[in-house]
Structure 1
Amino acid sequence: MEPQLLHRVTESVATVVIHHPAKRNAMTAAMWRALPPLLDTLAADPDVRALVLTGEGDTFCAGADISTLKGSPAEAQGLAVLAEEALAAFPKPTLAAVRGHCVGGGSQLAAACDLRFAEEDALFGVTPAKLGIVYPSSSTRRLASLIGPAATKYLLFSGELIDTARALRTGLVDEVLPAGGLGKRVAEFTRVLVSRSRLTQAAAKEFADGRTDRDAHWAEQARAADDTAEGVAAFLERRQPRFTWTTSG
């Protein structure tokens, strides 16, 4: 099978699989280009409530396919940034499910997700210093916002790989699972996500990502929606809520 991004939607969760096992799921230029329109399609699907990004087999993503850097490194990097920004802007909760290596462009994509769960033997690294590449400013700021300036400098200055214990300590990952336990935990957690209020999630994502210019918009959405009344009623009646808000318009 050619290198590509595979996807499926099951029980309101879209799963995007980085599929290039011959090169440890390294992203080709075509795969970088394919990600933004795929995300647009999934974002517009009302049945999609959350998105999981993962890699084929026992590797998340070993970075960019180096062969794509031979012609125009700047163009290849630009494609990666566009894909990263599209993932960060996805309007619904996103989770990177990481096994094995999550390096270079793989870490770039994982950092653009809202959350990151990893199996205990996973390895993380941001390796442009090994290739003499200037890491994009937007990607550097996103990483620093996630794990702090010192940890960002450690990764970028050295290009060294870190294990899940250090990744968890710095905030690069949110949960570490034993070998073989990632799939079950991701399925459990995404079931929780799709049961919660999309109104709460959409507003929280904007606010947490630093967008604070739409307070009035979200206040109006909350007034117009039935989610708060439904949530309170469900709590008092000791039942699962049935939230109905679907879009911010």
Structure 2
Amino acid sequence: MNHAAEVRTETFGTSLLITIDRPAARNAVNAAVATGLAAALDELETDPALRAGVLTGAQGTFSAGMDLKAALAGESPEIPGRGFGGLAQAETTKPLVAAVEGWAMGGGFELALSCDLIVAAENAAFGLPEAKRGLIAAGGGVIRLPKRIPHHLAMELLLTGEPISGERAGRLGIANRVVPAGEATAAALQLAEQLAANAPLALAAVKKIVRVADGAPESQAFAAQAREMAALTASADVREGMTAFAERRTPVWQGK
């Protein structure tokens, strides 16, 4: 287990649990949290034994978003090249699952939107209240939410600034799983374990192609995909995957 004052990491099997740990500030993101999250993502990316990450917040709150007091004092919650919280614009190769309990407001919601999957407690609260403060959800909220859910529903969240429950987030397709309060992290770790059973190179390729294809013409997306497929078919893991299937056994992935 690694302890930074604001962000803790802990390993569960092949998964890295990343916890924002500023409960007194409702896990709001200041410069230290952004630095801590960037370091935790580096740990996930560089450790070959880790296959997936789970992001959560300490003591029943995911994150109240940007720490406004710290921002007013001149602190930046952004990491150059990685965006808000060291995550919003980071290009990671391993799957990341958000485990949301309690508030995921503003930048907190945007951190969840930066993950590949979202597990929400039914009583969680997702909101983008920036318009109430004279701002916009610039950590990916305005850009990503309208791509993830129907236009008018995204506009309702962005323009009213009013939160929705985890239960409604599930109905809208924001959350992959909705679980009873207190169970989001356990369910997210279970999901991460399920992802880890698949080939790491294939998971990385899926993430890369989805990112490249977002807004690109189909021809460009297929060209990028062809490059990824060439690398995958030349990998030892693809041979292992096919051999294991033929031999009716569980594949043993090398990540190469």
Q: TM-score, normalised by structure 2?
A: 0.85
Determine whether 1:219 maps to 2:229. yes
Q: Displacement, 1:11?
A: 1.3
Residue 235 of structure 1 aligns to a residue whose secondary structure is: helix
Give the AA of the match of 1:141: I
Matched, 1:240 2:243: no
Matches within 5 A, 1:6-21: 6-21=8-23
Match of 2:87 in 1: 84
Count of residues in Structure 1 that have an aligned counterpart in Structure 2: 244
Aligned equivalents of 2:181, 2:40: Cα separation in 1: 30
Deviation at 1:172, TM superposition (A): 1.2
Distance 1:57 1:82, change over 3 A: closer
Q: Cα distance, 1:191 vs. partner?
A: 1.6
1:1-249 paired onto structure 2 within 5 Å = 4-72=6-74, 75-76=76-77, 81=84, 83-87=86-90, 89-136=91-138, 138-211=140-213, 212=221, 214-246=224-256
Provide the secondary structure at the position in 1 that maps to 2:119. Answer: strand
Does the residue aligned with 2:29 lie in a helix, a strand or coil? coil
**Measured at CA, do residues 2 and 33 of structure 1 come closer, stay the same or move farther in structure 2, by a change above 3 Å?**
closer
Ranges in structure 2 where 5+ consecutive residues have no aligned partner: 214-220
Shift of 1:127: 1.0
TM-superposed CA distance for 1:242, in Å, is 1.3
Offset of residue 198 of structure 1: 1.0
SS in 2 for 1:51: strand
Q: CA RMSD in A?
A: 2.4
- Name the SS for the 1:133 alignment partner: coil
Q: 1:140 to 1:3 in 2, by over 3 A?
A: farther
Unaligned runs of 5+ in 1: none
Does the C-alpha gap of structure 1 residues 35 and 218 become closer, same or farther in structure 2, counting only changes over 3 Å? Answer: same
| Cα distance between partner residues in 2 of 1:171 and 1:209 | 19
In the alignment, the residues of structure 1 paired with residue 57 and residue 139 of structure 2 have an alpha-carbon distance, to the nearest angstrom, of 26
Write the letter of the residue equivalent to 1:111. Answer: L
Letter in 1 for 2:161: G
Work out the percentage of aligned pairs sharing the same amino acid: 32
**C-alpha deviation, 1:78, in angstroms:** 7.4
